[in-house]
Amino acid sequence: MSFRPSEASGEILSRAASSPSAPIVLISDTSFRYAHDDAGAGPDNPSADSAAPAPTGTAPSTPESAAPSELALSHVNLTIRPGETVMLCGQSGCGKTTVTRLVNGLIPNFFHGSLAGSQSVCGLTNGTPAGSGSPVSPGDADSAACTAPVPIEALVPLVGSVFQNPKTQYFNADTTSELAFPCENVGMEPATIRARVNDVAQRFNIGHLLDRSVFKLSGGEKQRLAVAAATMLNPRVIVMDEPTSNLDATAMRDLHDMVAALKRDGVTVVIAEHRLAWCADLVDRYVLFENGAVAGEYTTAEFSALPPQQLESWGLRALDLAPYRAALRKKTGATGVTPAGVTQSGATSSAEPSGAAPSAKSLDASTASSTGPVIDSASRHSSAPETTHHSSNINDVPIIATRDLVVGYQRAFRRGVTDLALRGGDIVGLMGRNGAGKSTLVRTLCGLQRPLGGQVLLHGKPAKPAALTRAGFLVMQDVNYQLFADSAREELLLGLGDAGDAIRQPVEVTVAPSNAVRSSSSSATPLGVSVRGGIIGASSSATPHLHPATLGEQADRVLESLDLLPFAERHPMSLSGGQKQRLAIASAIMCGKGLIVLDEPTSGLDRAHMMQVGTLLRGLADQGKAVLVVTHDEELAALWCDRIIDLDGNAPATNKENS
Amino acid sequence: MTNPSSASSARADSRAGSRSTSQRGTHSGVRLDPRAKLYLLLLANLLLFFHVDTRGEAIMVALFLLPLFVAGRWRNGLRLAVLYFALLGLGLWSDAATMSGSGGSGGSLIGMIGGGVTDTAAGSSGTTVAAEDVAATAASATDAFVTAGHVAGLLSVGIRMMMPCLITGAYAFTTTSISEFVCAMRRMRVPEAIVIPCMVVIRFFPTIVHDYRQIRNAMALRGIAAGRFALVRHPVQSLEFIIVPLLMNATFVSRDLSVAALTKGLGIAGEHTCMTVIRMCWFDWAYMAVCTAPLALAIGGVL
Amino acid sequence: MTQQPTAAPSPAPAAPQPTSAAKPGRLAIPDLISIGIFTALYFVCVCVATLVSTLIAGAGTIFLPAVAALICGPVFMLSVARVGKFGGITVMGVVIGLFLFVSGHFALSFVASIVFPLAGDLIARIGNYKNRVTILIGYVVFCYGLTGPILPLWFMKDAYVASLEARGKSADYINTLFSQISVGSFFVAMAAILVCGLIGGWFGQRILKKHFVKAGIA
């Protein structure tokens, strides 16, 4: 009742001292299933899951959704010794996040469900102790589980946690308070807290981040602060749940250095990730999860000896990004202006390094080139891309082009952008470090913001922001803001037709879609998405005043082409992250937009889902849309983009020289 | 439990101290303890409750404005001061207008101004009333003018009454950091069930602003309720389109925040300390006394 | 040593425990955080209502609570659906009152924002936070908690009357001057809260059913 963590940790320390080599985390024969009525487990892990109907770890939110009884973990055994750095990897929904929640006590304290087996963290044991001999099956989980679960409060001084989304893991509005927060909660003296804050700031070299508003920090800075905050109580274990999913290369480098510092100090680090490259040199052991079970454990040597194709087949991201970076460099610099004959002295910057190759050891491209993955976006064009590609932009006028564009905000920020042109059928990647002006440029292209100078040309003619807003669409990183209706079909019909009357009318779904569409959807790939031609004709003729029934038919066709038809009546918010993303894109298609911009569409996605997004982009481009992808994801950019615009090597100075 | 050696902690402490003073330096000047601020707020409310005469009110307002200037909030303080004295002037004018009316407009206007001047100059209500009574007998009021005078009077008296509260509120709001506020609440034994939601409210405001902008952008891109007057023309639908994503996001954020807070020990029983130290020093007590005295005198009718 | 006692370090204000086995009726940390977030949204709605009521009705800030009642329905309904424990509505009101007080509103508004939400909470509890009717009535009562900020308007009038009296105006004169303003406007404002509360609450419940129940969130 009157539990004080300081006493508990003292007790634990003494217990641990008695057996120094004892495992710090011991998970034995553990099974877990999320309780569906629990709001806490709601639409879980928003970006991670995609087309696969309700992956494990994602509690399906509606009763009719598939597989409610799927286990998030089944009979998992895992031992982590003090001082180890362990990487839990596997596809989305494989159970790695669930394991991190077991370690930091969120299961069973916050995420409820039926838990079986025993879990011991730093000597605090949940459930039946290992070796007590009671065979636990998921069926009798309820009875076997946890007579007295370890309260999460007991684990606070022992386990530090870092989560995926840098925006929402802060409880305080300023950085220093956030660092002090755990110490305040355990009741330390103010002077001690201040000393601790300064120590930690010095240790991780984040002194410049103190006394600032957390809302003014970049994503990378937020994540560094999160790691620092997790270490405030000197925990013995740090758990990170996909810490890099929103980070650029530099920020990942910083995070790497922090993990290295933790490892030096003997802290046990458990990382759940599918991006492997950023801390490959720190990890002692890889644990591969598949469908809620441990599929294999590998030492670093064993793991790095595996061929990249093997990792791909497990749905993991590349361990070595060098080949991707090489491919990126080749694609960078082509501004796309040249073919149109506009004044342009050529893509000169293609020889420049992309500026995102931090680790010298990963530059060893010789081995990679022999076994490396096929990195050529041309090879991933759909079967007959050339015809559609060319027919879609006959007159070869770029959908969007810029001339002497200067973007920025009135006082705060200002930069020039080298002239660029986006054509139908192109997938263009927009890269650059945080703060390079990517999102400002994108907002300007979509007309959400006025340019400070220069022009944006829409189909060759200078356009006002309002016209750009009508022509372009931005799929935001957080799609939740973009979905308004109460069902997927309504979502597509929203805003079409005049005001509300067309929306309100129930749409008769007596559609006989064209053969092409039907065949393509029935032969849907395992990756789930296939966008083929067939919608183009309909959608490009989408005038806002069609008869409601016609609109309804068209909406169904668009939904079908994106494999969303089975979910037409579902509420958009009950869909998975990937489905929401596709629904937003579907609404853009429905509005007949020519330019589709995606902001970080693959953040937090495993390889399979990243490839799925790539396929989707290809499909959009093949429909004649101009596709612009803002991304830090080097794999996505290298595999799927036709060209890369790198804002880091794209300075206003060169802009002037060229013109 | 994990205390570093005392020497290093002391050194680090001094460093922390220097940093926090330098941070304070940006706000500059002496600041009252949050609890003293709260006391001033209470005094301001008492002022509103008991109708104190104009002179007492002016003294109190001056006393309430002083800390704003001391804390270095010059612009804020000046704005409030100007507003107050403008209202005071308006009130005096309306007194004159409603009392004197306007028979021969020129003369009475002069009388009014004269009345106002005597009022401010002499500052004693007795002479003013006398002067106005003279003016009032001189001319009978035209209705419109009197009504305007009454409206102005009602407004000026009304808003002026609110001013002490607004001034102290502005002072409390602009010069108190969140951690000080939280610390003050904990010191005053406010239950955690109130403290935690307060922290969350402050934490969540910027997120709401950010979310709202994103939602408006998304609506513009979709052509839903686009344009300046769309919100007015379709209020119900617009409200739905804005508030539903806001609430959806709020539920997601509440889950993530809960997770973050639980893993950082917000649920730990027992006293939660605060890194920020707040202390009532002699200055706070002295200022509280200085402010209480004239109020008590004014309420007591002595002043 | 279970979660329940440690998670709620201090009892909710005036929270007797109708502890059912399934859902312990005590506010835990996640509940408090949810309440905080909904309170922030509610506060923003109140600010919007202030803006709207001053823009539309000029000096008609007396309709502030009514306008707020009109637009805050969804926030209230979702918070009741998500928290569903005694104390939630009360805490929401108390925190709003605290913020109003600290930002310089009249202290009496603080009292109003404790009493009415508490009453609303008690009413909603009758239906165990499930019954639509009791929640709706609770919402209407809750809305009266915002009358605090407009109460000084009547005080202002009194102050002005006092200042007129001090200058020797006759009681008749004063009475004719304020006959319509005082009683009439008071009842109109209170009735407006009732009507707007019903409309807003109904709208909130409709939104709740249309979106949040369907999405599996509420």
Average pLDDT, stretch B154-168?
A: 78
- Position A416 pLDDT exceeds 50: yes
Please judge whether B129 and C167 are an interchain contact, meaning their C-beta atoms are less than 8 angstroms apart: yes
The CATH number assigned to the domain holding A268 equals 3.40.50.300
Q: What is the pLDDT of residues B290-300, one digit of tens each?
A: 889 888 888 77
pLDDT at residue C173, as a whole number: 67
Tell whether A460 is covered by a domain. no
Listed range (B32-36, B187-191, C39-43, C179-183) with the worst mean pLDDT = C179-183
- Position A531 pLDDT exceeds 50: no
pLDDT-based confidence at residue C1 (cuts at 50, 70, 90):
very low
Average pLDDT, stretch B172-193?
A: 87
Average pLDDT, stretch A603-627?
A: 89
- Position A45 pLDDT exceeds 70: no
pLDDT-based confidence at residue C200 (cuts at 50, 70, 90):
very high
Average pLDDT, stretch C55-81?
A: 84
State percent of chain A over pLDDT 90. Answer: 21
Q: Does C36 touch chain A (CB under 8 A)?
A: no
Q: Are residues A382 and A309 in the same domain?
A: no
Instruction: Kindly report whether the global pTM for this prediction surpasses the value 0.95.
Output: no
Task: List CB contacts of C70: < 8 A, sequence separation 6 or more.
Answer: C49, C196, C199, C200, C203
Amino acid at site B58: A
Please judge whether A198 and B15 are an interchain contact, meaning their C-beta atoms are less than 8 angstroms apart: yes
Three-state SS sequence of A339-399: HHCCCCCCCHHHHCCCCCCCCHHHHCHHHHHHHCCCCCHHHHCCCCHHHHHHHHCCCCCCC
Q: Are residues A292 and A387 in the same domain?
A: no
Cis peptide bond upstream of A451, omega within 30: no
Nearest-CA neighbor of A376 among A104, A640, A552, A151? A640
Q: Does A85 touch chain B (CB under 8 A)?
A: no
- Position C4 pLDDT exceeds 70: no
Task: List CB contacts of A47: < 8 A, sequence separation 6 or more.
Answer: A164, A245, A577, A603, A604, A605
- Angle, CA of B37, B38 and B44, to the nearest 5°: 90
Tell whether A412 is covered by a domain. no
Listed range (B135-144, C100-109, C121-130, C148-157) with the worst mean pLDDT = B135-144
**Alpha-carbon torsion, ordered A593, A596, A599, A600, to 10 deg:** 140
- Position B133 pLDDT exceeds 60: no
Amino acid at site B22: S
- Position B124 pLDDT exceeds 70: no
pLDDT at residue A267, as a whole number: 93
pLDDT at residue B52, as a whole number: 75
pLDDT at residue A650, as a whole number: 54
pLDDT-based confidence at residue A393 (cuts at 50, 70, 90):
very low
Question: Is the pLDDT higher at C80 or at B28?
Answer: C80
DSSP state of A158: T
Nearest-CA neighbor of A592 among A424, A451, A452, A455? A424
Q: Are residues A263 and A384 in the same domain?
A: no
Tell whether C3 is covered by a domain. no
Average pLDDT, stretch A402-406?
A: 86
Listed range (A256-260, A559-563, C107-111) with the worst mean pLDDT = C107-111
Domain that includes residue C44, residue range: 31-213
Tell whether C25 is covered by a domain. no
Q: What is the pLDDT of residues A229-257, one digit of tens each?
A: 999 999 999 999 989 887 888 889 999 99
Q: Are residues A617 and A485 in the same domain?
A: yes
- Position C157 pLDDT exceeds 90: no
Q: Are residues A253 and A384 in the same domain?
A: no
Please judge whether C30 and A110 are an interchain contact, meaning their C-beta atoms are less than 8 angstroms apart: yes
pLDDT at residue C170, as a whole number: 66
What residues are paired with A113 via a beta bridge?
Answer: A34
Average pLDDT, stretch A38-65?
A: 36
DSSP state of A237: E
The pair of structure tokens assigned to B25 is 């330096």
Which residues does chain A have within 8 Å of residue B1's beta carbon, measured at their own beta carbons?
6, 9-10, 157
A492 C-beta neighbours (distance < 10 Å), count: 27
B-chain residue closest to A44, CA distance = B252
Amino acid at site A45: N
pLDDT at residue C177, as a whole number: 60
Nearest-CA neighbor of A409 among A437, A431, A434, A433? A437
Please judge whether A3 and C215 are an interchain contact, meaning their C-beta atoms are less than 8 angstroms apart: no
Cβ-Cβ contacts under 8 Å between A and C: the total is 46
Tell whether A176 is covered by a domain. no
Break chain B into its structural domains and give their ranges.
29-177+281-300, 191-263
Tell whether A355 is covered by a domain. no
Please judge whether A571 and C3 are an interchain contact, meaning their C-beta atoms are less than 8 angstroms apart: no
Instruction: Give the DSSP H or E segment for C197.
Output: helix C185-207
Q: What is the pLDDT of residues A335-387, one digit of tens each?
A: 444 333 333 333 333 333 333 333 333 333 333 333 344 455 444 444 333 43
Please judge whether A171 and B9 are an interchain contact, meaning their C-beta atoms are less than 8 angstroms apart: no
Tell whether C177 is covered by a domain. yes
Please judge whether B220 and A5 are an interchain contact, meaning their C-beta atoms are less than 8 angstroms apart: no
Q: What is the pLDDT of residues B257-282, one digit of tens each?
A: 999 999 999 988 888 888 888 888 88
Q: Does C82 touch chain A (CB under 8 A)?
A: yes
Which residues does chain A have within 8 Å of residue C88's beta carbon, measured at their own beta carbons?
none
Average pLDDT, stretch B129-146?
A: 50
State percent of chain B over pLDDT 90. Answer: 17
State percent of chain A over pLDDT 70. Answer: 69
State percent of chain B over pLDDT 70. Answer: 70
Listed range (A3-7, B115-119, B151-155) with the worst mean pLDDT = B115-119
Q: Does C11 touch chain A (CB under 8 A)?
A: no
Which residues does chain B have within 8 Å of residue A234's beta carbon, measured at their own beta carbons?
2
pLDDT-based confidence at residue A494 (cuts at 50, 70, 90):
confident
pLDDT-based confidence at residue C135 (cuts at 50, 70, 90):
very high
Which residues does chain C have within 8 Å of residue A152's beta carbon, measured at their own beta carbons?
3
Q: Are residues A130 and A245 in the same domain?
A: yes
Average pLDDT, stretch A446-457?
A: 88
Report how far apart, in Å, the C-alpha atoms of C211 and of each of A59, B69, B215, B247 are.
18, 50, 17, 10
User: How high is the mean pLDDT of chain A?
Assistant: 73
Q: Which of A264, A293, A313 is the last residue of a domain?
A: A313
- Total tally of structural domains belonging to chain A: 2
Instruction: Give the DSSP H or E segment for A403.
Output: strand A400-408
Q: Are residues A547 and A629 in the same domain?
A: yes
Tell whether C20 is covered by a domain. no
Q: Which of A297, A313, A329 is the last residue of a domain?
A: A313
pLDDT at residue A191, as a whole number: 92
pLDDT at residue B207, as a whole number: 92
Q: What is the pLDDT of residues B16-66, one digit of tens each?
A: 333 333 343 334 456 788 889 889 888 888 887 777 777 888 888 888 888
Tell whether A557 is covered by a domain. yes
pLDDT at residue B111, as a whole number: 38
Interface test with C, best of A37, A109, A112 (most C CBs within 10 A): A109
pLDDT at residue A283, as a whole number: 92
Tell whether C8 is covered by a domain. no
pLDDT-based confidence at residue A541 (cuts at 50, 70, 90):
very low
Q: Does A207 touch chain B (CB under 8 A)?
A: no
pLDDT at residue C154, as a whole number: 67
Domain that includes residue A621, residue range: 377-394+424-433+468-647
Listed range (A112-126, A567-581, C14-28) with the worst mean pLDDT = C14-28
**CA B81/CA B166 separation, integer angstroms:** 11
In angstroms, how far is the first alpha carbon of chain C from the final one?
30
pLDDT at residue C105, as a whole number: 73
Average pLDDT, stretch B146-166?
A: 74
Q: Does C211 touch chain A (CB under 8 A)?
A: yes
- Position A47 pLDDT exceeds 50: no
Listed range (A132-146, A164-178, C53-67, C174-188) with the worst mean pLDDT = A132-146
